[in-house]
Each structure stands twice: as C-alpha cells, then as structure tokens.
Structure 1
Amino acid sequence: MKLKVNGTEHQIDVEPEMPLLWVLRDELGITGPKYGCGIAQCGACTVHVDGQAVRSCQLPVGALAGEVTTIEGLGSPEALHAIQAAWIEHQVAQCGYCQSGQIMAAAAFLDVNDAPTDAEIDRALSANLCRCGTYPRIRAAVKTAAAKLAEA
C-alpha cells in the first residue's frame, strides 16, 4: 500500500489493521510521534491527516485516507512553524515526551482559530496530557504563535 508522509510517498507492506503510529515509527523510522497510552487518550501520538489532528496509535493504516504530516514535516530547523518557534521562546518543554503531540494539536487548532482565548486553548488542547504540567507555558506559546500567524 502507498502512504504519503511529510510530502514523500512510501510503499509499505503491512497489515491494514496496523496502527499508523507503528508504521511511522517501525516501518518508516519517523520517531516524532510517541507511544504514550495506546488508547488515544494522551495525545503523544498526534499527527495530521490532511491538516486534521488525529491519534495515530488508534488509526489503522488501512483506514487512512489522506496525507500524513508529523512533527518532522511541520517545520524545519531552518524554517520553524510559528508554534515550534513559540514553544522554544516560552521554554515549554521539560521532559519533552508529549511535545510533538502537543505541537501538532496546537498547529491544527491554530489553522481553525487564529485568535484563541485562554478558554479556547485549554479546551482545544485538554486531551493532550503533559505530565510535567507546563500548561501555562503551552497556553502562552499558542497565543504567541497565533499572533505571529496573524501577522503573516
């Protein structure tokens, strides 16, 4: 089966019920999405499918319809996405495990809400868990990214 990830087409030979997360990590070597819970409850595995945030640990690759973008495809070291730059500016990461999922969820959220309130940010990202508790910095980073995206 064919799979387009971060702009590159891949031919993979896997069972259609294999979760997208395992295809990304084990078959393609893309390790940004993390295994957290395996039941779509923590958000560490969040990726985009055609711009929509999805939990890759529960999405069978055979049910996939669309292009996948992982944290590796969101921006580059030379050209960070606004949310990635804001993450660095606000020093959001502590342990960093949840960060790729948090960033991917935030990027998808900012695609549909370019001027979010604190309550909207909290609601939109509430299903992405951070054991380090950096939620105030996450909120600040999302607001900074929203402002930068509005300028562009």
Structure 2
Amino acid sequence: MTHVRKTAGAAAGALLIALVIAGCGGGGDTALTTTVTETATAAVSTETEASTAAPPTTEPPTTEAPPPMTQATATTAPPEEPAIMPDVVCMNLQDAQDEIQDAGVFFSRSTDATGQGRSQILDRNWVVVAQTPDPGTAIGEGDAVLSAVKIGESDSC
C-alpha cells in the first residue's frame, strides 16, 4: 500500500507541474497535460481500491474463562514497612539523599541553612548540617528536609 501511495503522490506531483507549465506557457502541451491527468487519476483510483479492500480474515480469538480463584491466589502481599529516617547530618548532600533513597523514600527536600535561599544545584558541593525529622522517625515521600551549606562554609560538623 505504501508503494501505491508513493505512486499516487508522484502522479499528483507530476500533474501539478504539468498544470503549472501549461498555465505559464499560455497554452502548454495539451497531450502532456492529458497524459499526466490520466496517470494521476489512475493512481488515485488504485489507492482508493487498495484502501477500501476488505481486510484479511482472521479466526476470532478464543476466550477462556480465568482459572477459579483459590485461597493461594486471593492472598495479598504483606504491607510494606515504613521507611525510617537515617542520620545524615555532616554527610555530603548527595550521599545523604542516597541514604534516604536506600531507606525507601525517593523524594527528599533540601534548603540553604544560611537563609540565603540558594538552590542546591550540584548536591556534592553541599554538606548537611541539620535534618527533619530526627533519625529513626518513620518518613514518607517529601517528609525528609535536609538543611545544607556549601562545603567550606562555616558549619557545625
């Protein structure tokens, strides 16, 4: 079918060129225009016939009933244990975030402990000086907040 569309497209393009030439030439070659028109019409007819042809028949899918539910398939997985906040104070910010992820929480937040509101773009250049919540506390996504300063700035570590 792709070949048919390419043929139809080429024929239509040739028709357009012939019509432009005929229009620009003030009379043009009538035989050329007629030939291109017939070719384009035949190609479009072929494409229409190909696209409206009945799809090949396939056997209907078989439907089987699902197996009956047994006690073994009805049981649910045990609930996951909550993530516990690790102690990450005095750690490199990137390493601290990795520890929190290892505990089971993907998303933690960080802030500039100096109060200047700087963003922690390159986490390896920052050190954690405070954390919320305290170590050992159950945490969820976004609960962990790490206060950090740039490495080399005054900190309590």
TM-score between both structures, scaled by the size of structure 2: 0.22
Identify the structure with bigger relative contact order (alpha carbons < 8 Å, sequence gap 6+): 1
TM-score by length of 1: 0.22
The structure with the largest alpha-carbon Rg is 2
